[in-house]
Amino acid sequence: MYPDDFEDLPICYYCRFGPGPYVPPPQGPPFGPGTQPGPGQGAQPPGPPPAVTPQQTQLGVQAVSPGSLRFCLFKYTYVWLRNGRSFWIWPTYIRRGTIAGWRWSGRRWVYFGLDVRRIVSFVCY
C-alpha cells in the first residue's frame, strides 16, 4: 500500500490489543481526513524524527530485554533489526512481545506493528 524501503515490515493497521470485536480492513488508507486512529494506535508524532541518525555503538543504545522498550513510549526511538535494517519509530503500544506505533518512511509517518524479537537494539530520546 505504501511503497518504501521497508516492504518486509508488516504494517499493522488492525492489530488486536486485548479483548474487543474484530474490525474488518478498510477499502482505502487507514486514516482519512476526519478519522481517528484505532485502539492502541495513539496520535502521530509531533513532527519528523531528529535529523541525526544515531550509531549503534554510541552510549545509550540498549539491547532488547523484557520491559526495556516501555520507557520509549511516545518518544522518538531508533531501532536496529536482526535483518540489518534500522529506522526511526514513535512507539505508542508495547505489550506481549509486540511493539506498535509510527515508523518514519523517510517522508512521512506510517503506522506499523512489529515483533519485539526482531529488534536487536534501540535508543530513545
Q: Which of 59-68, 74-83, 97-106, 110-119 has the lowest mean pLDDT?
A: 59-68
Give the per-residue pLDDT at 40: 52
Give the per-residue pLDDT at 27: 39
User: Could you tell me the pLDDT band of residue 36, with boundaries at 50, 70 and 90?
Assistant: very low
**CATH fold of 62-124, please?**
SH3 type barrels. (2.30.30)
Q: Which of 9-18, 44-53, 67-76, 103-112 has the lowest mean pLDDT?
A: 9-18
CB 84 within 8 A of CB 24: no
Q: Which of 2-16, 17-31, 44-58, 102-116 has the lowest mean pLDDT?
A: 17-31
The three three-digit cell numbers of residue 39, written as one number: 485502539
Cα 106 to Cα 103: distance, rounded to the nearest angstrom = 9
Q: Cα separations (Å) of 28 from 33, 76, 121? A: 12, 28, 34
The three three-digit cell numbers of residue 35, written as one number: 478519522
Q: How far is CA 59 from the centre of its chain?
A: 22
